[in-house]
Amino acid sequence: MQLLALETSTELCSAALWRDGDVRVREALAGQRHSELLLPMIDALLTEAGVKLAVLDGIAFGAGPGSFTGLRIACGVTQGLAFGADLPVVPVSTLEALAEATGADVTRAVCCFDARLGEIFHATYVRAAEGWREASSPVLATPATAPAITGDGWTGLGSGFTTHGAVLAQRYGAQLREVRPDVLPHARAVATLGARALARGEGVAAERALPLYIRDKVAQTVAERAQR
């Protein structure tokens, strides 16, 4: 299987080329330059590997949640490439990619990004033989009302623990074995998850590849969301 993977949901811009388990990557801390950097990364990967886009089996991308602009860039580039080459697309949860970006020693992951406005994007995953099992699905929550976890030995991952570490530590207490707030979702992880999904026949047409925003109104105020 040959798969291109893109991830631009955070400040890290990355692309990966998966070829039967061998992965080549390009990455850069992009700030606001994702749109400028992503296409040259893709071109460099394909050129280095001597691979034409049209011979790939699909394209995976970090679908969200995450930066609104970053998600639109990854989705837009993916759709454009997939339309042109007639390839299936695999949207991958950036929170699951966060879990996949850790080492094999992590078996239970509390994944959360800072969503601003005092909130976090949150999901939990448990390692299984086939990959990761979703213990709780991606949601938008306040740190104090983040979904509960069962049992001990969890690892906290992501920028939510940087911004709201004290509240999350109070929320989960001794259930957290450790916290790794600096881990970021990476195209390498998106490629691994995307290859598994594509092998299961979960690729979709390019027009059905949509970002997962979670926030149904990006500019919504805290007061407005409290009324939902």
Q: Where are the domains of the chain?
A: 2-94+185-220, 102-180
Superfamily of domain 102-180: ATPase, nucleotide binding domain (3.30.420.40)
In CATH, the architecture of 2-94+185-220 is 2-Layer Sandwich (3.30)
Residue 218 has pLDDT above 80, yes or no: no
145-155: pLDDT as tens digits: 999 999 999 99
Give the pTM. 0.93
pLDDT tens readout for residues 44-85: 999 999 999 999 999 999 999 999 999 999 999 999 999 999
Domains 2-94+185-220 and 102-180 share a fold: yes
> Does 225 have pLDDT greater than 90?
no
SS3 per-residue string spanning 7-65: ECCCCEEEEEEEECCEEEEEEEECCCCHHHHHHHHHHHHHHHHCCCHHHCCEEEEEEEC
Which pairs from 40-43 meet CB under 8 Å and 24+ separation? Answer: 41/13, 41/14, 41/15, 42/4, 42/6, 42/15, 42/77, 42/81
Residues 186-202 have pLDDT tens digits of 999 999 999 999 999 99
Average pLDDT over residues 161-180: 98
